Amino acid sequence: MAKITIDNLRHAYISEPTRDEHYALKRVHLDWADGGAYALLGPSGCGKTTLLNLISGLLHPSEGRILFDGKDVTMETPEARNIAQVFQFPVIYDTMTVYDNLAFPLRNRGVDEAEIKKRVSAIAEMLELTATLSHRASGLTADGKQKISLGRGLVRDDVNVIMFDEPLTVIDPHLKWQLRSKLKELQQRIKRTMIYVTHDQTEALTFAEQVVVMNNGEVVQTGTPIELFERPMHTFVGHFIGSPGMNLLPCEVKGGAAFVSGKQVPAANAKKAKSGRKLELGVRPEFVRFANKGLPADVVRVSDIGRYRVVETRVNGTPVKLVVGEDTEVPVGKAHLVFDATHTQIYSDGWLVGSRP
Amino acid sequence: MNKTWNNRAWWLVLPVFLMVAFNALVPLMTVVNYSVQETFGNNEFFWAGSRWFEDILRSDRFHDALLRSGIFTLLVLALEVPLGLGIALTMPRKGPWVSVCLVLMSLPLLIPWNVVGSMWNIMALPDIGLLGKAINALGINYNYTRQPISAWFTLVLMDVWHWTSLVALLCYAGLVSIPDAYYQAAKIDGARPWAVFRYIQLPKLRHVLTIAILLRFMDSFMIYTEVIVLTGGGPGNATTFLSIDLVKYALGQFDLGHAAAMSIIYFLIILFASWLFYTLMMRHQEQ
């Protein structure tokens, strides 16, 4: 178990990077506490797997350092770093039994058989694999195989960090949910540092205490799921997290107040905003409601998502979505919208106004 | 859903059926026809029943040839499979050397069999051949036209040279298809190179190895051209394999009934061995 510090890390897959776009990972700084559950979230190709492989030691960075408990491990092998990783596709040793699979990392490290038996039984119990211990691993279903991959990391009680690289990709939907709760439960029980890479917001937000949102090789925001939801630092986060994503409306600022299509709209950070840049007003669909007066809008479409409905409207041509309860009456045609002032923020060139010096 | 039954569809299968009939069934039935009859020429045939088969199965000449073929096949498999696997493991996975290696490896496979035989025939001649002279220069008495042991050595060496590439290329294809995650997981699990080979590479290569062994078994058990060019089955009968003996019966002695019966037995042996081998490998797979 270890505290992980990522210091000025950069990585390029080509040998002599000169320009910024050569880097798959552009200068990342992170501090992760021991025993925490973290998620790296971002669209495909955002650099999250690169970052993961740098931490596990499968790749070595072009620049920067990685510290485990203050010790520089930047150039060390995965084995020396003492980490565990669960891959996107289940990696198991086909010819071995489930027991031998779980025992493999211990046998490679010369642990004696009595100790192996003890630890493998304990882990198998935890992962509900006890009944299959004597079976050949190749006969198991995908979720069973992923459990074995995870188990191979858990049997070593001295691993610094366990990493997950989109581990639920090949799991059937109904088992996904089960395995996800199992993971969360395990994390809380054994309190080991875990890093979970995914492009699925549900997986990231349910698993992690701290989510690192990445885009284009950069960290856009680090925060708890609630922070990401309520105070997205960047319009990308607002858009990427939440379903549907945050509404963005072009706006102007005059005398410390925000205006959308000429109408004044309350915003939490309106006073700090300076005109001259590209300003946008961001508000999540959950914080928009219908009212008798307010911003005039046209109702375009209503979709029933089950326990709530998503209403799509247009304000002067810009789409604005609302999440409303099943009982709420949706006006037909012309309507007026009101935004919740504390959850309405202004973004300047994409970044939350007041969040950066 | 209702399926439409339409027997006219059989007409579509007819061309394939005819082709198979002409290039497999008809020639095979001719052989069967010869194997149960005796002929003295002039297109006169007499019924012989199972006599030829009984003769063959009891004859020492057949047993000896069968034994020689068997030993040759075993030797060739024992050398080519580990060697091919070893070469595949050392070949580069990426970079400009990949294509260089692949081309070099494929070269022996592109040379016609009779040319291979001639090449080795000349190269191994003790008086003028490069290989023959070199071995003799080392103080070893080597003459493949006179000593059975030298003839066998040359034949096996030639076959290894000619066909190890096939095993290597098949194994290489198998190795390249193993996803990187396996090697990464092994690294993280602290596996030594031997464990990586034993628990990842070898199990993943099972299929290609099955195919490689099957192909090499069939080919080496039926080898004819290279042997006839190199040693002609000699010295004496030292390298007279089943295929060579068969030709001696058929074209040397014009013993058509005998040769036909032998062909069928020969064919059945290969068929049975291939089936046995394949079934064993596949059954193991299912467990």
CA distance A245 to A247: 7
pLDDT tens, position by position, B126-142: 888 888 888 888 888 88
Which residues in chain A are closer than 8 Å to B192, comparing Cβ atoms?
108
Query: Whole-model pTM?
Result: 0.75
Query: Is residue B16, in this structure, part of any structural domain at all?
Result: no
Query: Is residue B20, in this structure, part of any structural domain at all?
Result: no
Query: Is residue B223, in this structure, part of any structural domain at all?
Result: yes
Which residues in chain A are closer than 8 Å to B196, comparing Cβ atoms?
none
* Average pLDDT across chain B, whole number: 86
CATH number at residue B82: 1.10.3720.10
Segments in chain A forming alpha helices (H): 48-56, 78-81, 98-108, 113-127, 142-154, 173-190, 201-207, 225-230, 235-240
Per-residue pLDDT of chain A (357 residues), as tens digits, is 578 888 888 888 877 777 777 788 888 888 888 888 899 998 888 888 888 888 888 888 888 888 888 888 888 888 888 888 888 888 889 888 889 889 998 888 888 888 898 888 888 888 888 888 888 888 888 888 888 888 888 888 888 888 888 888 888 888 888 888 888 888 888 888 889 998 888 888 888 888 999 888 888 888 898 888 888 888 988 888 888 889 998 888 887 788 888 888 888 887 787 777 788 889 999 999 888 888 888 888 888 888 888 999 988 888 999 888 888 888 888 888 888 888 888 888 888 887 764
Which domains, ranges and CATH numbers included, belong to chain A? 4-235 (3.40.50.300), 246-348 (2.40.50.140)
The larger pLDDT score, comparing residue B286 to residue A261, is at: A261
Which residues in chain A are closer than 8 Å to B284, comparing Cβ atoms?
none
* Residue B227 DSSP SS3: helix
Among all chains, which residue has been given the structure tokens 């394999």? B241
* Measured distance between the N- and C-terminal CA atoms of chain A, rounded to whole angstroms: 35
Position B72 scores a pLDDT of 94
Average pLDDT over residues B208-226: 90
Query: Is residue B43, in this structure, part of any structural domain at all?
Result: no
Which residues in chain B are closer than 8 Å to A96, comparing Cβ atoms?
199
Taking CA–CA distances from B199, the nearest residue in chain A reads A93
Ranges of beta strands (E only) in A207-328 are: 210-215, 218-223, 247-250, 252-254, 257-260, 263-265, 279-283, 288-291, 295-304, 308-315, 318-325
Please spell the DSSP secondary structure of B144-203, one letter per residue.
TTT-HHHHHHHHHHHHHHHHHHHHHHHHHHHHHTS-HHHHHHHHHTT--HHHHIIIIIHH
Q: Are A94 and A154 in contact (CB under 8 A)?
A: no
Query: Is residue B230, in this structure, part of any structural domain at all?
Result: yes
Ranges of beta strands (E only) in chain B are: 37-39, 45-47
Position B1 scores a pLDDT of 57
Sign of CA dihedral A64, A70, A75, A77: negative
Distance from CA of A207 to the nearest CA of B (A): 23
The structural domain count of chain B equals 1
Query: Is residue B30, in this structure, part of any structural domain at all?
Result: no
Among all chains, which residue has been given the structure tokens 């080509």? A14
Whether residue B187 and residue A109 make contact (CB cut-off 8 A), yes or no, is: no
Nearest Cα neighbor of A60 from A80, A41, A42, A44 is A80
CA distance B87 to A136: 30
Query: Is residue B14, in this structure, part of any structural domain at all?
Result: no
Distance from CA of B203 to the nearest CA of A (A): 7
* pLDDT grade for B165, boundaries at 50, 70 and 90: very high
Whether residue A105 and residue B189 make contact (CB cut-off 8 A), yes or no, is: yes
Percent of chain B with pLDDT over 70: 97
* pLDDT grade for B285, boundaries at 50, 70 and 90: low
Taking CA–CA distances from A106, the nearest residue in chain B reads B189
Q: Are A48 and A219 in contact (CB under 8 A)?
A: no
pLDDT tens, position by position, B26-57: 888 888 888 887 777 677 777 777 877 888 78
Query: What domain range includes position B78?
Result: 53-286
Q: Are A280 and A346 in contact (CB under 8 A)?
A: yes
Q: Is the pLDDT of residue B283 over 80?
A: no
Query: Shortest CB distance from A104 goes to which of B181, B189, B203?
Result: B189
Percent of chain B with pLDDT over 90: 23
Query: Is residue B40, in this structure, part of any structural domain at all?
Result: no
Pairing of strands A194-198, A344-348: unpaired
- What ipTM did this prediction achieve? 0.75
Distance from CA of B186 to the nearest CA of A (A): 9
Q: Which two tokens stand for residue B50?
A: 């199972």
The larger pLDDT score, comparing residue B66 to residue A243, is at: B66
Whether residue A58 and residue B190 make contact (CB cut-off 8 A), yes or no, is: no
Average pLDDT over residues B264-284: 85
Q: Which of B177, B180, B188, B281 to mutate to test the interface with A (most CBs of A within 10 A)?
A: B188
Q: Are A190 and A154 in contact (CB under 8 A)?
A: yes
Which residues in chain B are closer than 8 Å to A109, comparing Cβ atoms?
190
